[in-house]
Chain A
Amino acid sequence: MTSTFPPRSSPLRTDRGFSRIALPLAALLVGASQLSAQDPRLAARLPHGTALAIQALMDSAGRQGLPTDPLVQKALEGQSKGADSAQIIAAVHGLLTRLETGRAELGPNASEADLVAAAAALRAGASSASLHALRLLRPNQPLFVPLSVLADLMTEGIPADRAWDSVREMASSGASDAAFLSLRDRMTGTSGGGTSPRLPPVPERPPGNQRPDRPEQP
């Protein structure tokens, strides 16, 4: 009769055998779970490497409790417009950074719409302090309309100080969302094209602030 060391029933031998099988299996399962968690829209429309990079950014957002769909939309926008991978990843990374700042300033209860609008305001040049101030001016209320209006004003070329003063005054006076949108249309000369027909009609623009409908760009 021969004997082996350690014996076949030894916990040492069993553990070693277990590790040989279990560790690769666990790695495989983790990898598979990550693959299954990948957004199918990314896999279908982006090059593999780009999709993986975007997925990593989405995972980072998810770990922080941030919405991931805006990141997907930014990536798909880039794909649809024919941008290259570097442009897409840079744009998504920039958006993630702005969402993080938005969450820090608006608090943990900020909605996805609030965070998207906050990111747009930051992208347009608004300060993070203005986001925080707006939150204090409108506690426990959705902020996406005033933030969106702030972003629109600045993107349309209204100086940052003037844009912020206008939004802050309206927020201080408890203005409605419709009033914010009317303010934006008055200041930028837009008519809110595509705005819900349920919204109140846009007031007449002041003279000298007309923005005629331009024909399509060739």
Chain B
Amino acid sequence: MADPSDDLHHDPLLAAVSRELRTAPGPALRSVARALDALSRERRRRWLAASAAAAVVLLGIALDLRIRARATLPVEFSVRSPASHAVTVVGDFNDWNRAAAPLTRHDGEWTVTLKLRPGRYRYAFLLDGSRWTADHRSPSADNDFDIPTSVITVAN
């Protein structure tokens, strides 16, 4: 019948030695068996602690990657248009909703800061609700609908 103390020892040879020492005559040998058991117990505790620490680290890395992937970055859009009364930026980031992102005027320069996730976005400015203009500081986008369009690449 297996001794419950055998479970302590990962190494079968160590388990056998411990078992023999426990049944050996003389308190000295039994104390050696107890020392071996204590050593195995300590090793098991350290192994569990190391495993738990590794799991926490891996979980943290996975969480960090997930947060980074979903993280948004502030992106400023600006256009100079002193004659306009209202300007919005319309693009892939706001469902091409003409009214979703109005710009604020500062001496003829219109600006707004949006939070975007990393990626590539097409957009254009809409002046006074009727005139489209591209962002001439950004690269041009391909043009499926005959309206000037720009593109921005947001990177981490």
Contacts and interface: CB of A to CB of B under 8 A. Distances in A.
Interface in A52-103: 70, 72-74, 76-83, 87, 91, 94
Contacts of B77: 193-194
Interface string B92-135: 10011110000000000000000010111011010100011111
A213 interface: yes
B140 A156 contact: yes
A72 B95 CA distance: 8
Interface in A135-176: 142, 144-145, 148-149, 151-152, 155-156
B133 A216 contact: yes
Contact of A178 (B81, B119, B148, B155): B155
A193 B98 CA distance: 20
Interface residues of A, number: 54
A38 B45 CA distance: 55
Contact of B151 (A73, A120, A177, A191): A120
Interface stretch (B10-18, B19-27, B68-76): B68-76
B141 A155 contact: yes
Nearest to A112: B119
B80 A188 contact: no
Interface in B135-156: 135-142, 144-156
A120 to B, nearest CB: 6
Given A144-B118, A213-B136, A73 B144 contact: no
B131 to A, nearest CB: 8
A155 B76 contact: no
- Max count, chain A CB within 10 A of own CB: residue among B74, B118, B137, B139: B139
Contact of A198 (B73, B132, B142, B152): B73
A197 interface: yes
Interface residues of B, number: 49
Contacts of A41: 95
The main secondary structure of chain A at its interface with chain B is helix
B151 to A, nearest CB: 7
Nearest to A118: B120
Interface of B: 73-81, 84, 90, 92, 95-98, 116, 118-120, 122-123, 125, 127, 131-142, 144-156
Given A74-B144, A80-B96, A81-B146, 14 more contacts: A81-B96, A81-B145, A155-B151, A156-B140, A181-B153, A192-B137, A192-B153, A194-B76, A194-B138, A194-B150, A196-B75, A197-B75, A211-B136, A217-B148
24 contacts: A76-B97, A79-B96, A80-B97, A80-B98, A91-B144, A91-B145, A113-B118, A144-B118, A148-B120, A148-B151, A151-B142, A156-B140, A184-B139, A193-B135, A193-B138, A194-B75, A194-B137, A194-B150, A196-B74, A196-B75, A213-B136, A216-B125, A217-B131, A217-B148
Interface of A: 41, 70, 72-74, 76-83, 87, 91, 94, 112-113, 116-117, 120, 123-124, 142, 144-145, 148-149, 151-152, 155-156, 177-178, 181, 184, 188, 190-199, 211, 213-218
